[in-house]
Structure 1
Amino acid sequence: MAVYRQVQTNFWQDDFILELTPEERYFYIYVMTNPRTTQCGIFKIVKKLIEVELGFDRKTVDKLLKRFMDYGKISYCERTNEIMIINWVKYNFIDSKNTKLCINKELKEVKNKEFIRTIYKICLERKYDIEFIFKDIDLDPINNEGEAKVIPLKTDSEDIKSRSASSRLENSTKEDNKGLLDSFEAPYKPLGEEEIYINKSYNKQKVMNKSISRVLLEFSKNIKKASKAEIEKFIQWRKDFEEEVIIKAIEQAVKYKAKHIGYIESIIKSWAAEGITTMKELMKKFDRTKPRVNFDAYRYVD
């Protein structure tokens, strides 16, 4: 257990933090710095303890946990009472033997196997020493019944074949879904949402989608293929906001690695609360939130 956790001073100028409520900022700092945090970013904590240490009731704790899960910042497992700070190991990893030994030891105590596999994927993408970090660690995920299920890791050649097959399937899916997304060429990974087919009321749908075509393009390129529910949100937002404003919200989600419709919606709602609906109004806000430098403080004095 570490005595301290490092939080950079520019935390308070971060665009994601600026959009949070004071309550959310307090909770986020707590998640990153409470005494049970670990080097791997996964730790066990019961909700009752969060209530006591933060002074919140259970309803507020549940609300904040769900909100930050929607933001894509944490995952929380009710079954094991474990929290995973999703990008912790990405931004706090130190390539030293002691750090890797510490992470290896901590991961062996983690009950939620899906959390372990998520950390594994991040380490693999960032070319960390996975053989050392995950030595003697079971990487089998847990299914809904709580039983272990073996999923062997793919070799490079198998992975290339898998991606090729996925690409062929993706191309055939695009051909089948002419209409709404026929002009979008960006790749996406199917995440289980209901596929969108425009067989009924085509002309009416075409008119509605015309006002959000660029929004859908940006969402498809940078996040994923939009589900039916997400498209309906975009259409609803377009009634009150300029298209560029919605696109800017998507860019913020990508910039701060919170690629989730929940985070985009939180940005849109916060701007609406400030009466911001146009790009001109939004740019004024950004100008106000830029850090100012007191040049007089740096003036040379004899």
Structure 2
Amino acid sequence: MAIYRQLQTNLWQDEFILELEALEKYVYTYLMTNPRTTQCGIYRLVKKLMELELGLEWETIYKILKKLMDNNKIAYCEETGEIMLINWSKYNFINSRNTILCINKELKEVKNKEFIGRLYTICLERNYPVKDIFNGVVVDGLKIENKEEEDFLEAEGEEVDSLKADKEGLSSPFEAPYKALGEEEIKEEYINKSYNKQKVTNKSISRILLEFSKNIKKASKDEIEKFIEWRKTFEEEFIIKAIKQAVKYKAKHIGYIESIIKNWAAEGITTMKELMKKFKRNKPRVNSEAYRYLD
């Protein structure tokens, strides 16, 4: 890879940067441009070299690092000596074969697994090709494998009815962990038994629970409560899409689903119509197969 790092000129107009003192700007810029930076934005920070290259004592450097950590600009692990630049991929990711191969190789060398999980979530949020980037990398105890799967991006306005697909004999790309529950079983087992004292209608979460049970597992009481709470704000299909995203990227647990929903909501996306517009905008204009670089 070329030995240079990209800094956008509008960095100096950023509200956070404007409030930093001169020495803090100096250290932050160093973190983004020093010789040990990587394409993935996670690298080992060598204290002695940092002191030498910056001409500062570690005590001074650490105070600035602490401020950057408190403002969620970096994450630092004293145990492994690694640092993560939180917004690195936002400004430096390039969807090219060489870049993805380089990031994949670097991630396999990262010791702090929490950093890997955090970057995985960021890549999901930004709709990056995670199957290629994290191919062979362990994320939250699960090894990501790059296999052919159906594209999540669908034509705007197209509705996918999973129940209808099952009846017509269409196979799912994912194997259910146990026998899928029917609509009536969902209603009785999840709602009538667990929530017989609450006014929860079949319309509220039955299809959500069905999708969750088919592709992930039987929902626990806490998970059902989350679905009920989300349903107060979001459409049924909206939540189902979040479940499908988690399944697609093999992040089969409620935490990732919640992260997906929160990130969509943070972007002001709360309806299926808005969500489909987002994916349509992010859909590559060239043949998607051209972006599958790894065997």
Cα deviations by residue, 1:39-73 (Å, 9 ceiling, x for unpaired): 10001112222111111112111111111000100
- Give the letter for the 2:133 counterpart: I
Answer whether contact 2:69 2:75 (CA < 8 A) is retained: yes
Take 1:48 and 1:159, find their aligned partners in 2: how far apart are those partners? 47
Tell me the residue number matched to 2:226. 166
| Alignment CA distance shift 1:2-1:80 (3 Å) | farther
1:164 Cα offset (Å): 5.3
Residues matched between the structures, number: 168
Take 1:21 and 1:70, find their aligned partners in 2: how far apart are those partners? 16
Tell me the residue number matched to 1:93. 93
- Give the letter for the 2:225 counterpart: A
SS, match of residue 10 in structure 2:
helix
Tell me the residue number matched to 2:181. none
SS, match of residue 110 in structure 1:
coil
Cα deviations by residue, 1:73-100 (Å, 9 ceiling, x for unpaired): 0000111110100111122111111111
Tell me the residue number matched to 1:37. 37
Take 2:19 and 2:105, find their aligned partners in 1: how far apart are those partners? 36
| Alignment CA distance shift 1:2-1:109 (3 Å) | farther
Take 1:159 and 1:52, find their aligned partners in 2: how far apart are those partners? 51
Tell me the residue number matched to 2:81. 81
Tell me the residue number matched to 1:59. 59
Take 2:94 and 2:80, find their aligned partners in 1: how far apart are those partners? 27
Ranges in structure 1 where 5+ consecutive residues have no aligned partner: 141-149, 172-189, 191-220, 223-302
Take 1:131 and 1:170, find their aligned partners in 2: how far apart are those partners? 28
**Seq. identity, %:** 56
Q: TM-score if structure 1 supplies the norm length? A: 0.49
Take 1:170 and 1:6, find their aligned partners in 2: how far apart are those partners? 39
Take 1:118 and 1:159, find their aligned partners in 2: how far apart are those partners? 21
- Give the letter for the 2:9 counterpart: T
| Alignment CA distance shift 1:2-1:71 (3 Å) | farther
Take 2:11 and 2:113, find their aligned partners in 1: how far apart are those partners? 31
Q: TM-score if structure 2 supplies the norm length? A: 0.50
Tell me the residue number matched to 1:10. 10
SS, match of residue 76 in structure 1:
strand
Tell me the residue number matched to 1:125. 125
| Alignment CA distance shift 1:159-1:23 (3 Å) | farther
| 1:103-252 alignment runs, 5 A limit | 103-140=103-140, 150=141, 157=212, 165-166=225-226, 168=228
| Alignment CA distance shift 1:70-1:25 (3 Å) | same
Cα deviations by residue, 1:104-133 (Å, 9 ceiling, x for unpaired): 001011000010111111111222111111
- Give the letter for the 1:82 counterpart: E
Tell me the residue number matched to 2:69. 69
1:165 Cα offset (Å): 3.1
| Alignment CA distance shift 1:65-1:2 (3 Å) | farther
- Give the letter for the 1:88 counterpart: W
| Alignment CA distance shift 1:152-1:168 (3 Å) | farther
Take 1:108 and 1:91, find their aligned partners in 2: how far apart are those partners? 22
Take 1:58 and 1:83, find their aligned partners in 2: how far apart are those partners? 15
| Alignment CA distance shift 1:152-1:17 (3 Å) | same
- Give the letter for the 1:44 counterpart: R
Ranges in structure 2 where 5+ consecutive residues have no aligned partner: 145-173, 177-210, 232-254, 256-264, 267-295
Tell me the residue number matched to 2:251. none
- Give the letter for the 1:166 counterpart: K
Answer whether contact 2:136 2:143 (CA < 8 A) is retained: no
Q: CA RMSD in A?
A: 3.3
SS, match of residue 138 in structure 2:
coil
Cα deviations by residue, 1:140-192 (Å, 9 ceiling, x for unpaired): 3xxxxxxxxx4699997368968753254689xxxxxxxxxxxxxxxxxx9xx
Tell me the residue number matched to 2:27. 27
Take 1:60 and 1:125, find their aligned partners in 2: how far apart are those partners? 34
Take 2:70 and 2:47, find their aligned partners in 1: how far apart are those partners? 18
Answer whether contact 1:47 1:61 (CA < 8 A) is retained: no
Tell me the residue number matched to 1:47. 47
| Alignment CA distance shift 1:56-1:97 (3 Å) | same
1:136 Cα offset (Å): 0.8
